[in-house]
Amino acid sequence: LPPEQRTVGQLVGEAMRTYGNRFWAALAIGLPVAAVNALVVAVPRGPGQLLLAAGGGVLMAVSYVGACAIVLERPFRSRSALVAYAIGVLVFIPFPFLATVFVLPGLVWLAFVGLAVPAAFVERLGVPAAFARGIQLARADFVHVLGGLATLALVVFLTQAALYLVLREFAENTRVVAAILASVVVSPLVFIGAALLYLDQEARLRSRERRKERDADVPHAVHAHRKGHPDPARKSRPPA
């Protein structure tokens, strides 16, 4: 189906297809995620979580912008990519705190403002305009964005857990090495899917605007200035 009609299941399938077509470039997207996992292991609970949030935001933004460059076919080395990266850092820094409470608030946050990153990248917007555009895109079909991110996160979590167990059992890797390898291989899928959501929402928004324009051109059933009268004029009858 075209992007404006794409379902969540088709979004995941398209993300897998894109990953397979650009495997080696997409695999590099998982390297920053592996570094974040290493931070999770190294940084203790407590005040160190602030360092984890900052470091995680800096690294996850690299993965997101890289996925946007692959999916949207834009140069990674450009001014718009730098602006998108700065927005990505602002988007991802609060995510660990929200996800610590429960994963759903973190996903809601990403669904609401996360599309500002590809919007800045593709449309060459500044930071305030990109956030406004990202929120506008998210509101075009917020259920699709949230459902898509939740499904991608669930698929990545289950696949990564299965791959982690396989690496531990049959490859004799340590726990940390197995977790890092699994995140490198599987995590790019969620960023590729998030970049595809920009295309879905942008198409949905354009489709909605076209429908409004068509509705605005529909003539009224009764036109006050048309020629003639609905009924012929009648003369008054003379008094009896």
HEC letters along the chain: CCHHHCCHHHHHHHHHHHHHHCHHHHHCCHHHHHHHHHHHHHCCCCCHHHHHHHHHHHHHHHHHHHHHHHHCCCCCCCHHHHHHHHHHHHHHCCHHHHHHHCHHHHHHHHHHHCCHHHHHHHHCCCHHHHHHHHHHHHHHCHHHHHHHHHHHHHHHHHHHHHHHHHHHHHCCCCHHHHHHHHHHHHCHHHHHHHHHHHHHHHHHHHHHHHHHHHHHCCCCCCCCCCCCCCCCCCCCCCCC
Tell me the pLDDT of the chain averaged across its residues. 83
* Cβ-proximal residues to 95 (8 Å cutoff; 6+ apart), any chain: 53, 56, 57, 60, 106, 109, 110
pLDDT of 190 reads 93
pLDDT of 97 reads 74
Query: What global pTM score does this model have?
Result: 0.82
Average pLDDT over residues 23-42: 84
> What are the tens digits of pLDDT across the range 128-187?
999 999 999 999 999 999 999 999 999 988 988 888 787 777 665 677 777 788 888 899
pLDDT of 49 reads 63
pLDDT of 96 reads 74
Average pLDDT over residues 10-17: 94
> What are the tens digits of pLDDT across the range 79-89?
999 999 999 99
Highest mean pLDDT among 38-52, 127-141, 213-227: 127-141
Average pLDDT over residues 115-125: 94
pLDDT of 224 reads 47
Can you give the length of the chain in residues?
240
Banded pLDDT at 235 (limits 50, 70, 90): low
